[in-house]
A = this chain, B = another copy of it.
């Protein structure tokens, strides 16, 4: 069926059979057993060298599970993370983790910062991405124990670390990467989505109250369209799973053609620019430093070795 449809569009793309389906709400443990699903088949094509990256709009738990299971976690990374692009005043801000790890150690946050730095450098061409830690206050003394430890450690690494950032400043475009645990990253992403949705709905209601409003609103359609485009996930084209041994791009479940196209373009760019190897190099480069610094930090904080 797909081959026929593709031919009608004049496209000649190879189609590989994948008879199984992973439902959007299926637990990861089930999903991992569906070895004939398109996710597994695609991941195996990469393993076999027949593909360089996977793009999926499916069940994100399954995407992470299959990526970890089929490709393995990158050396130097303890826990892979989901990244996500949020709209900000000056373009976008890259946030990680947005849901893979509900709780994290300071060392996970440090690794997220290194991965975010490399990804934003490669995807947006920024030389020294500004990196911030999400916290409940901008002072270094704010946050959980893990955030405070990560703050101290990040100050000593070769990153453009600008300190803690509070939720209201994330969208002002003053930083390029926001590092956080997957629980609060999810709250930030979903909460922001919810507020944007409510405001746009409220505007729609208010602007169709009477004839004058309707006419005036009609004149403003181009302006509203520009606002909507700025807060639209379709523009951002998927977000990477970082910390696994190949390139996996996760698109929104509601993605239409434009978002999928942007996801594929991002996957292509990440594979060509050797995302995984570049993260590996950054970790090796920072690794000595990280170990040395975290040992020193652990001593300073009277922690048992291995905690920090």
Contacts and interface: CB of A to CB of B under 8 A. Distances in A.
Interface of A: 87-89, 99, 102-103, 134-137, 142-145, 147, 166-172, 180, 182-184, 186-203, 206-207, 209, 212-213, 215-217, 219-220, 223-224, 226-227, 230-231
Given A186-B167, A206-B223, A216-B216, A145 B103 contact: yes
A135 B185 CA distance: 11
Q: Is the interface of A mostly helix, strand, loop or mixed?
A: helix
A25 B173 CA distance: 24
Given A199-B196, A202-B230, A166 B143 contact: no
B216 A220 contact: yes
A64 B77 CA distance: 40
B172 A194 contact: yes
Given A199-B227, A217-B220, A171 B194 contact: yes
A107 to B, nearest CB: 18
Given A209-B223, A216-B216, A102 B144 contact: yes
7 tightest Cβ-Cβ pairs between the two chains A and B: A167-B190, A167-B191, A136-B186, A168-B194, A206-B223, A216-B219, A168-B190
Contacts of A102: 136, 142-144, 147
A231 B199 contact: yes
Contacts of A103: 144-145
A112 to B, nearest CB: 16
Contact of A206 (B89, B215, B227, B231): B227
A231 to B, nearest CB: 7
Contacts of A170: 191, 194
Give the residue among A142, A193, A195, A197 with the most B Cβ atoms within 10 A: A195
12 contacts: A89-B201, A99-B136, A102-B142, A166-B190, A167-B190, A168-B193, A168-B194, A171-B197, A188-B188, A196-B199, A203-B227, A206-B224
